[in-house]
Amino acid sequence: MKNSMVPSPGSFKVLSGSFQISSVLASQLSDPQLSILEEDNEGLQFSTLSDTDERAVGPAEESYVLDISQDEIEISASGRKGFFNGILTLSQLYLREGPELNCCRIEDTPLFNNRAVMLDISRNRVYRMEYLKEMIRKFALLKFNQLQLYMENTFDYRGHETACRDSSPLTPDDIRELDTFCRERGIELVPNQNSFGHMERWLRHPEYHGIAEAPDGFIDPEGVFRPESSTLYPGTDKSMDFIRGLYDQLLPCFTSRRINIGCDETWDLGKGRSREAVEKAGVGRVYLEFVNRLINEAEGRGYSVQLWADIILNHPELLSELAGEVTAVNWGYEPDHPFEKETTVLKKSGLDFYVCTGTSSWNAPAARWEAAYENIRNGAFWAEKNGASGYMVTDWGDNGHWNQPAASWPGFLMAAQGAWGGADSMSADQAVAALDLFLYKNSAASKAHRILGSLYLENSHVLHNGSVFTYMMMDPFYPYYRGEYGACRKAGTGKAQELIERVGVLLAEAALEGDYPHRQELELMHGFCRFSVNLTEGIFRTGGSEWQGLVAGERRALAEELRELSERFAAVWELSCRPGGLADSLEKLKSWLERLES
């Protein structure tokens, strides 16, 4: 039982006998909320642990002891956070076993007191409220206690309708409702507004060109021309006035006193209007001066500041000059990301920091299971080793967010374990059993998901942030890996077709019922995996790397397959997400279809 729970408890001792949960308590455990701590539940007792109590499991305020005997359930902790963590564990036991619980004793304490999830709602997918709430319920059960919704232009900012209206943005009332919903479940909803880089969804519009670093476009770090500026021009007060206006509207909707101001990947800084300033002072100094203005603005409003650490880590000599009390969020999403080096630098600087890993679900039809595991484990190891104050997992939607939401759950499950128990507590296959509880309630479906998540390994040539199956599909609008396609072709596709067929058998065996979106998401993941493998093998047979080399019969078959997938993609999208962004994602699929039909 211990190893099938996520996060698994530090100590789990099974005892003889069982306890029957009342119908009232069972109802509360179906969706546990903090209010349960104030209510009188027959058979459920709370007791306070002192530092000298022999049952104490650690100094953390979130530690707890859960005792289930034949007569009662007792949760012991030093305060509300610990008591509620005990309730969350009890809820998982109930959801797995039903109302008759085996007697046991659990002693548990988290490694990190800050355990965060960040969802990308700016790359086309803005989740429907009910779907988002269902995700939050699951995050609470996994003992995450912070949630961030990554925003660029997906808040309904008054006066900025041109940039926001087509995204189906969250309204102030939506945020307030979500804030309350999170707090009721022990989660802090932290405002997240990128405030320097990744502003192209604003800066593409003529009315914002005055605050754009490179309004006529720029060459990105990979040598590809981008027609839209992505970075605010720091040399004008209008940029700060713009950000102040966003904060004025966004921040009052949250009860949290933290804010993530972003500031990552300022790719075009110094390539446009700031060129002269950068040549004179250096790009790090120009970056720092604007970031410090942002920090001072947020702290002046009473907020503690988080910001992405990638740019400032390129200029470690400037770390000591960051204004205020900042939390640097050290992100990296590949198995070999240099967390050892980067967290060592942050530790020596004295800065507070989180380590941030990813679900490896973007740029992949069904995520990259092993890559996610190694990345999450590596991040958890160095976060503990070098004293991070928190651990975060991110879920991105690069290049149209056509990866399905269900694909991200193995990463969420792995990260929940890493954030609670650390790297040594993790198992790559632990998430398979957990998928049964959190997503499918069907072992055949979970096995199918596991196979799809490892499909990318059938081509042994490692590509950054994705696989050849992904990048062959994306090539018409994402040409970054063309130089590696020859090596990919030599590596072949292994048993990919055989695995696709095996998943089809498992899905038929699963016979998933109901209309809850995860069923359709899994089936769509299978469809995209099949298409990507068929396309890749077809291109490999041409001896080249271009779609144009496909023979006519293959092109027609692939086009028919893609049309059907596009229709299903739109239908499944509507089950979980608002309409804004769908047209852009479909445009990506349309570009593939045009290649096949040209």
Last residue of a domain, one of 108, 142, 161: 108
Whole-angstrom Cα distance, residue 6 to residue 438?
10
Mark whether 462 and 476 lie in a shared domain: yes
Query: Regarding predicted confidence, which is higher, 402 or 123?
Result: 123
Question: Residues 261, 287: contact at Cβ < 8 Å?
Answer: no
Question: Residues 138, 117: contact at Cβ < 8 Å?
Answer: no
CB atoms within 10 A of CB 313: 18
Which residue stretches of 437-551 are H helix? 443-453, 468-474, 485-491, 496-510, 517-542
- The residue range of the domain holding 380 is 114-430
Whole-angstrom Cα distance, residue 326 to residue 305?
5
Mark whether 365 and 476 lie in a shared domain: no
- Over 70: is that where the pLDDT of 2 sits? no
Straight-line distance from the first to the last Cα atom of the chain, in angstroms, rounded to the nearest whole number: 55
- Over 60: is that where the pLDDT of 515 sits? no
DSSP symbol at 36: G
- Over 70: is that where the pLDDT of 56 sits? no
578 belongs to a structural domain: yes
Mark whether 318 and 353 lie in a shared domain: yes
DSSP symbol at 464: T
Mark whether 118 and 17 lie in a shared domain: no
60 belongs to a structural domain: yes
If DSSP codes are grouped into helix, strand and coil, which group holds residue 118?
Answer: strand
104 belongs to a structural domain: yes
Please count the CA atoms within 13 angstroms of the CA of 1 that sit on its side-chain side. Answer: 20
CATH number assigned to the domain comprising residue 44: 3.30.379.10
Give the H or E element holding residue 225: strand 225-226
440 belongs to a structural domain: no
- At residue 57 the predicted structure's pLDDT band, cuts being 50, 70 and 90, is low
Q: What does the angle CA 410 – CA 179 – CA 575 come to, to the nearest 5 degrees?
A: 50
- Over 80: is that where the pLDDT of 50 sits? no
438 belongs to a structural domain: no
- Over 60: is that where the pLDDT of 1 sits? no
Question: Residues 85, 64: contact at Cβ < 8 Å?
Answer: yes
Mark whether 218 and 299 lie in a shared domain: yes
Q: Which of 335, 330, 339 is nearest to 264 (CA)?
A: 330
Q: In what order do the strands lie in the sheet with 11-20?
A: 11-20, 100-108, 64-68, 73-77, 44-48
Mark whether 345 and 463 lie in a shared domain: no
Distances (CA, A) of 29 to 13, 96, 104, 332: 21, 12, 18, 36
- What are residue 466's DSSP bridge partners? 463
Last residue of a domain, one of 77, 108, 139: 108
Percent of the chain clearing pLDDT 90 (strictly above): 82
Question: Residues 380, 419: contact at Cβ < 8 Å?
Answer: yes
577 belongs to a structural domain: yes
| One-letter identity of residue 265 | E
DSSP symbol at 404: -
Helix axes 409-421, 369-385, angle to 10 degrees: 20
Contact partners, residue 301, CB within 8 Å, separation at least 6: 247, 251
Output phi, psi for 258, to 5 deg.
Answer: -115, 160
If DSSP codes are grouped into helix, strand and coil, which group holds residue 503?
Answer: helix
Cα maximum dimension of the chain: 77
DSSP symbol at 495: T
pLDDT digits (tens, 9 = 90+) for 165-216: 999 999 999 999 999 999 999 999 999 999 999 999 999 999 999 999 999 9
Token representation of residue 154: 């997906």
Output phi, psi for 518, to 5 deg.
Answer: -60, -30
Average pLDDT over residues 379-395: 98
436 belongs to a structural domain: no
Contact partners, residue 348, CB within 8 Å, separation at least 6: none
Whole-angstrom Cα distance, residue 456 to residue 558?
20
The 3-class secondary structure across 231-279, one letter per residue, is CECCCCHHHHHHHHHHHHHHHHHCCCCEEECCCCCCCCCCCCCCHHHHH
177 belongs to a structural domain: yes
Question: Residues 346, 329: contact at Cβ < 8 Å?
Answer: no
Mark whether 135 and 279 lie in a shared domain: yes
CATH number assigned to the domain comprising residue 124: 3.20.20.80
If DSSP codes are grouped into helix, strand and coil, which group holds residue 42?
Answer: coil
Mark whether 164 and 234 lie in a shared domain: yes
Last residue of a domain, one of 364, 397, 430: 430
- Over 80: is that where the pLDDT of 84 sits? yes
pLDDT digits (tens, 9 = 90+) for 277-313: 999 999 999 999 999 999 999 999 999 999 999 999 9
- Over 60: is that where the pLDDT of 519 sits? yes
Average pLDDT, the chain: 94
User: Whole-model pTM?
Assistant: 0.97
Whole-angstrom Cα distance, residue 429 to residue 410?
9
State the Rg of the chain over Cα: 25
If DSSP codes are grouped into helix, strand and coil, which group holds residue 592?
Answer: helix
Mark whether 64 and 174 lie in a shared domain: no
Question: Considering its fold, how many domains does the chain have in total?
Answer: 3
Q: Number of H helices and number of E strands within the chain?
A: 21, 15
Across 114-123, 396-405, 437-446, 583-592, the highest mean pLDDT is recorded for: 114-123
If DSSP codes are grouped into helix, strand and coil, which group holds residue 414?
Answer: helix
Helix axes 517-542, 552-576, angle to 10 degrees: 160
Mark whether 120 and 103 lie in a shared domain: no
- What are residue 117's DSSP bridge partners? 147, 393
Mark whether 302 and 217 lie in a shared domain: yes
The 3-class secondary structure across 266-326, one letter per residue, is CCCCCCCCCHHHHHHHCHHHHHHHHHHHHHHHHHHCCCEEEEECHHHHCCHHHHHHCCCCE
Whole-angstrom Cα distance, residue 251 to residue 244?
10
Mark whether 66 and 158 lie in a shared domain: no
Q: Is the peptide bond before 7 cis (omega within 30 degrees of 0)?
A: yes
Percent of the chain clearing pLDDT 70 (strictly above): 97
The whole-number pLDDT of residue 595 equals: 84
5-14, 54-63, 181-190, 355-364, range with the lowest pLDDT:
54-63
Whole-angstrom Cα distance, residue 497 to residue 517?
26
- Over 90: is that where the pLDDT of 241 sits? yes
The whole-number pLDDT of residue 513 equals: 59
Please count the CA atoms within 13 angstroms of the CA of 123 that sit on its side-chain side. Answer: 17
The whole-number pLDDT of residue 222 equals: 87
The whole-number pLDDT of residue 591 equals: 86
